[in-house]
Amino acid sequence: MRRVLARLDSTHRQLLETVEPLDDALLARRPAEDSWSVAEIINHLRLVEERVILELEKALEQPPAELGLLRRLVPTRIVAWRLIRVKAPGAVVPASSSDKTTSLENFNAARESLKRLCQTHGKARLRKTVFKHPFLGRLTGVATVSFVAYHEQRHYKQICEVLKTLQK
């Protein structure tokens, strides 16, 4: 679990170091009509984490459950690859974005809640918790937290692409 949380922190730090110096106007600009702005990406990341926390909390209320070997081997790392574009489910599509300070505070608060949930329940319990991911299927709680880290890596790459496009 320590390694998963370290990956979560590392990517989060990298993302914050990239976006904190930017002004609200740049964060809100879309590189194209059908693309998200950096602010929308951050909002999406927050929405996903809040959804994961909510669903993990519900799953933790259930008796411990085991996934089969093949289900436990689902490589959440593939989420970080940007080879395949995936349409976000409606519940995690950012409707609007707040100012930078509010967006980052909300995003950081969601991250702290996720880490607190991990610390409260521990690796052993999260391994026996089943989360239903809309694309990856059934995952353990530990794999779900790993998914969050790789999902943030995916969108960190997207943020870098957006900024590169906007700063041309």
Look at residue 13 in the predicted model and tell me its pLDDT. Answer: 96
Structurally, the chain folds into a number of domains equal to 1
pLDDT at 85: 75
* The two three-digit tokens of residue 14, written as one number: 């990298």
Domain that holds residue 81: 2-166
> Does 32 have pLDDT greater than 80?
yes
pTM beyond 0.85: the answer is yes
CATH number of residue 41's parent domain: 1.20.120.450
Strands, E assignment, 123-164: 130-133, 137-140
Q: Is the pLDDT of residue 72 over 60?
A: no
Phi-psi region of 122 (alpha: psi -120 to 50; beta: other; left: phi over 0): left
Per mean pLDDT, which range of 11-20, 60-69, 136-145, 159-168 is the poorest? 60-69
- Note the pLDDT of residue 137: 83
pLDDT in the model for residue 134? 83
Given pLDDT bands bounded at 50, 70 and 90, which one contains residue 66? confident
Whole-number pLDDT of residue 87: 77
pLDDT value for 133:
85
- Output the pLDDT for position 71: 59
